[in-house]
Chain A
Amino acid sequence: NAGVTQTPKFQVLKTGQSMTLQCAQDMNHNSMYWYRQDPGMGLRLIYYSASEGTTDKGEVPNGYNVSRLNKREFSLRLESAAPSQTSVYFCASSEIYTYNEQFFGPGTRLTVL
């Protein structure tokens, strides 16, 4: 089992460019999450999907959109990237009722110039 996979691993964008971060899990989990991690700020939830067909905002949703493509895949889109979105992005998944136990992917390191 690969667990949670994320693509790409690294990305450099110019201000105003758009991109989509991809995430997939093979654990048959219902819930999926997108976090960003910044120095001194810890992990902050951007969006989550409690189950296929639903998405909800987290703590820092502005500037992002998400799509729960199917049970396995959850993508995060930056429509017009800004330098403030320079961060490490983590995707995670969990069973629907054991959401305190989340399984994380390896992360995407994004730099916006």
Chain B
Amino acid sequence: QKEVEQDPGPLSVPEGAIVSLNCTYSNSAFQYFMWYRQYSRKGPELLMYTYSSGNKEDGRFTAQVDKSSKYISLFIRDSQPSDSATYLCAMNPTGGGNKLTFGTGTQLKVEL
């Protein structure tokens, strides 16, 4: 079993929809939770970064962490075609150093 599980999709939604992307994990030591966005044939870029439990909002994006359930989510409000990309979750324990553990990514397509 992988330490981080992520549904690969593809997930197809109409423009303006609220999107929910999720990851589950098994390592209770994970404390840092990141969402990276990867456009087709490009490198990933950091989108959101949270520490421990709770919510963090940045514009149309909200990251949510539920450590009791070992479950993290990324919500996208008012989704746009430009949000079409693969979203990778990544995690790291305190003291984990440079070794991030990535999910496999969920492919999202926002259609006009």
Which residues of A are interface residues toward B (Cβ below 8 A)? 4, 31, 33, 40-45, 48, 50, 56, 58-59, 90, 92, 94, 99-107
Residue among B8, B32, B43 with most chain A CB within 10 A: B43
Q: Which of B6, B45, B49, B104 touches A100 (beta carbons < 8 Å)?
A: B49
Cβ–Cβ contact B44 & A43, under 8 A: yes
With CB as the reference atom, state the residue of chain B lying closest to A104.
B43
User: Which of A4, A31, A106 interacts with B98 by CB under 8 Å?
Assistant: A31
Hey, which chain B residues are within 8 Å of A48, CB to CB? Answer: 98-99
The reply to whether A58 and B42 form a contact with Cβ atoms under 8 Å apart is: no
Most buried by A among B4, B6, B45, B102: B102
Cβ contact of A102, chosen from B4, B41, B100, B103, cutoff 8 A: B100
B4-46 Cβ-contact flags toward A at 8 Å (1 or 0): 1010100000000000000000000000101000000111111
- Bound form: Cα–Cα A29–B46 in Å: 16
**CB pair A106 B100 closer than 8 Å:** no
| C-alpha gap A29/B6 in the complex (Å) | 30
Most A-side CB within 10 Å, residue of B34, B46, B100, B103: B100
CB distance from B43 to the nearest CB of A (A): 3
Number of A-B contacts (CB under 8 A): 58
Chain A residues near B4 (CB-CB < 8 A): 42
Cβ-based interface call for B92 (8 A):
yes
Could you list 12 examples of A-B contacts with CB < 8 Å?
A: A33-B98, A40-B104, A43-B102, A58-B99, A90-B44, A94-B98, A99-B92, A99-B97, A100-B34, A101-B46, A104-B45, A106-B42
Whether a CB of chain A sits under 8 angstroms from the CB of B88 is yes
Q: What is the minimal beta-carbon distance from A72 to any residue of chain B, in angstroms?
A: 17
CA distance A101 to B102 in the complex (A): 13
Most B Cβ at <10 Å: residue of A43, A56, A101: A43
Quick one: closest A residue to B34, CB to CB? A100
Q: Contact at B104–A107, with CB atoms within 8 Å? A: no
Residues of B within 8 A of A59 (CB): 99
A42 and B99 contact, CB distance less than 8 A: no
